[in-house]
Amino acid sequence: MDWKRSVRILWLCNFMVSAGMTMVIPFLSLFLWQMGVTEHHALSMWTGLVFSATFLSAAIMAPIWGMFADKYGQRANLIRAGIGMGLLTACMAFAASPMVLLVLRFLVGFFSGFITVSFSYLARIVPKDHSGEALGTLQTGSIAGNIIGPLIGGALSDLFGFRPVFLVTGLCILLTLLPVMFWLEKDPVVPQTKKNKASFKEVFEHRPLIILFIATFLVQIAVLGVNSMMTIFVQSLVGNTSNLAFLSGLASSITGIATIIGAPYLGKLGDRIGQEKTLPILLVLSGLFALPQVWTDNIYALYVWRFLQGLVVGGVWPAIQALINVQSPSRIQGRVFGVTASSRFLGNLTGPTAAGAIASLFSIAYIFAFSSLLLIVTGALVGYAHRRSSSVWRKEMKEKLTTWTHRLHSRH
């Protein structure tokens, strides 16, 4: 199986899915306002509900789709996600009320997970010593889509209105089915037998996997919490300027561009010296680069710190995925990546809520301190877990060597 070809195919698919899903971001609240939600507090509430509904249902369904992947493979899982997400997103063009839009967003979550599943697919087919490189390269596709999508969505909505953009988004997602179905090879599936039956109990018996699930959850809180408040923070720096949307969008785009630059190189570095060594360092560095943003009072200084943080945070997710792949027996890989996806979606759901609470109780700048603390603590947790597992491994090997030596002496 040509894994490099698979990386290229999935890079294109992830770019299209990410670009499509983020096309609606610039105008979603305006679309609700057009539907008649004009009161400020009601508009804020409905916008929050519509955004979070997808993450909630996706977190519930991710482990179930993991079971599906263990039985039928991740390629089948990609096709399932593409069909469901594409059709339901296109249906949003015909939503007549906020409640209908909310229900459709919730249903999209039941079928979502295309990008997470693509990581799992690659983890199954890529050689272990190239997993960081492959996953880092794949991540750049979704990030590039996240940067381009809002720009295209904003332009299309200005030209044709809000509703046609949902149709374009649905079409983009459905088009990804063509390369997946006709170019992507089927991934290997371990046959399930009574003696070799997969279960979630086995997933949670692996201590290193639990640590990585927790790390995934905390990293998503740290990253999404800051991203959700970026416009408000930029407004506190520059005031109510006419190009506020552009300046806040640039802050997010700069981080994405830096991630695109850093992710492939950091993935290769992790393959060379060990992902378990690079991950704690990247997490701590990312937290340290987030901390000065608390005291930033200049928009250009903010851009510099966001770029530096983006360079190192780009290597975090591929490293976590690569380590999860190493720790996962083949027969439960689908379940493991299902729980990983659920952890990520729960982090997406929790991050903006936590950041909003911190901003309202203290100051908007304190969300960077919160993010920094989470990233540093996560790095310390992962590093401690690695050192402990290494010492246990060394102890077990020492005991085995002692046993073998004793047997050799007893024979002679």
Rounded CA-CA distance 372/383 in Å is 16
Residue 349 has pLDDT above 80, yes or no: yes
Q: How far apart are CA 149 and CA 329, in angstroms?
A: 36
For 188, the 3-state DSSP assignment is coil
Q: From CA 193, how far away is CA 191, in angstroms rounded?
A: 6
The confidence score (pLDDT) of residue 400 equals 58
- Over residues 383-405, the mean pLDDT reads 65
Tens digit of each residue's pLDDT (9 = 90 or more) over 30-83 = 788 888 888 877 877 787 788 888 888 988 888 888 888 888 888 999 999 999
Q: Is the pLDDT of residue 393 over 50?
A: no
Q: Of all helices (H) and strands (E), which one includes residue 394?
A: helix 366-411
Q: Which of 309-323, 330-344, 361-375, 383-397 has the lowest mean pLDDT?
A: 383-397
- Across 14-22, average pLDDT: 89
User: What pLDDT score does 70 carry?
Assistant: 80
pLDDT confidence of residue 397: 53
Q: Average pLDDT for residues 112-120, to the nearest whole number?
A: 85
With a cut of 90, say whether residue 327 has pLDDT above it.
no
**pLDDT reported for residue 403:** 65
Which of 46-60, 276-290, 364-378 has the lowest average pLDDT?
A: 46-60
pLDDT, one tens digit per residue, over 203-212 is 888 888 899 9
CATH number for the segment(s) 200-412:
1.20.1250.20
Between 356 and 307, name the one with better pLDDT: 307
The candidate with the shortest Cα–Cα distance to 317, out of 176, 150, 120, 162, is: 120
Q: Please provide the CATH number assigned to the domain covering 1-185.
A: 1.20.1250.20
- For 137, other C-beta atoms within 10 Å of its C-beta total 21
Domain locations along the chain: 1-185, 200-412
pLDDT at 26 over 50: yes
CA-CA-CA-CA torsion for 256, 233, 106, 148, nearest 10 degrees? -30
* Structural tokens at position 171: 């079409």
Place of tokens 């639990």: 210
| Mean pLDDT of the residues in the chain | 85
The domains spanning 1-185 and 200-412 adopt the same CATH topology: yes
pLDDT at site 353: 82
On the question of pLDDT at 394 being above 60, the answer is no
Place 372 in a pLDDT band, splitting at 50, 70 and 90.
very high
371-395 CB burial, b ≥16 within 10 A, e <16: bbebbbbbbebbbebbeeeeeeeee
Count CB neighbours of 178 within 10 A.
11
pLDDT for the residue numbered 207: 86
